[in-house]
Amino acid sequence: MACGVPQKCSGRYTHLIRAYIISVCTVLISAAFLVAVSIGTAVYILPAALTAGSLLAAITLPDLYVSGLTYTRHRNWLMIERGLIFRQTLLIPRRQIQYIRLCRGPAERIFGLATLVFMTSAGKVSMHGLDPVEAERLRRLLERTE
């Protein structure tokens, strides 16, 4: 990872976000369906709308979000750009990073992804959707003294 060059996160991160959206929406649709059945009327418009909305979100949102998620390693800063509606550029001074943790949860292991968690004097900053090899390399690069 070259210094000052914006890097994209792994393409597999879209699948993980899609899986999250689908799982949350499945729960919501099931609840809406149960409510519709318990009311006993033919009000199935809510589950139908939820299904259509979640399908649309699962198709479009992950790609849009991941395309806007970049991180750049500068000489003294680490810059993370993210967000769709509220676009956020986060700058963390390298000397303020106290330690870095590499996390891989069950879902991330399935999709072959990793998360880097930076503990800074301002709090915790997470960088999701990284390739494990790339994450390990970035961790080593950032831990190296300037």
Partner 1 sequence: MMWKRQNPAYLIAHTIKLLSAWAALSGPVIGLYLLYTADRSLSAVVVIAAAAALIIIAAITAWSRNRWRLGRSLALRRGVLTTITCILRRHSFTAAEIKRSPFLSLFGSVRISLYTHADSRKNASCSALTVKRDTARQLAGRLMPIDKGYTREYRARRGELFLLALSQSDFLSGLLLSIPLLSWATRHIDRNLSARIYTAFESAGQLILPDVSPLYSAFALIPAAGWLTHTVYSLFAFGRFRYVRSGGSIMTGRGIIVRKTLTFPVDAVTAIESRRTLLTGMLHRESCRAIIPGAGSCLLLPPTDRRSSVIETAAIFPHGEASMRIDTADCTRWWRWWGTAGAALLIISVRIALTAGRWRELLLLLLIPAVSVLFWRTLVGADAGKKAGIRLFSDSVEITGVRGLSTYRLRVLRGCIAEIKLTQNIFQQSAGLCSVYIRPHGALHGLRCCHMPMSRCMSLIGRLG
Residue 92 in tokens: 């963390």
Amino acid at 111: F
Q: Is 130 helix (H, G, I), strand (E, B) or coil?
A: strand
Is 41 near partner 1 (CB under 8 A)?
no
Is 76 near partner 1 (CB under 8 A)?
yes
Residue 11 in tokens: 């393409």
Residue 104 in tokens: 């891989």
Closest approach, Cβ 56 to partner 1, in A, equals: 19
Place of tokens 């998360």: 115
| Alpha carbon distance 57, 69 (integer Å) | 17
Is 75 near partner 1 (CB under 8 A)?
yes
Residues in contact with partner 1, counted by CB under 8 A, come to a total of: 19
Judged by CB, which is closer to partner 1: 41, or 76? 76
Q: Which stretch binds partner 1 (CB under 8 A): 12-20, 56-64, 90-98, 100-108?
A: 90-98
From residue 69, give the alpha-carbon distance in Å to each of 10, 54, 63, 98.
10, 22, 10, 24
Is 16 near partner 1 (CB under 8 A)?
no
Q: Which stretch binds partner 1 (CB under 8 A): 13-21, 47-55, 56-64, 82-90?
A: 82-90
Is 120 near partner 1 (CB under 8 A)?
yes
Question: Can you name the residues that pair with 145 across neighbouring β-strands?
Answer: none
Is 77 near partner 1 (CB under 8 A)?
yes
User: Interface residues with partner 1 (CB under 8 A)?
Assistant: 74-77, 85-93, 95-96, 120-123
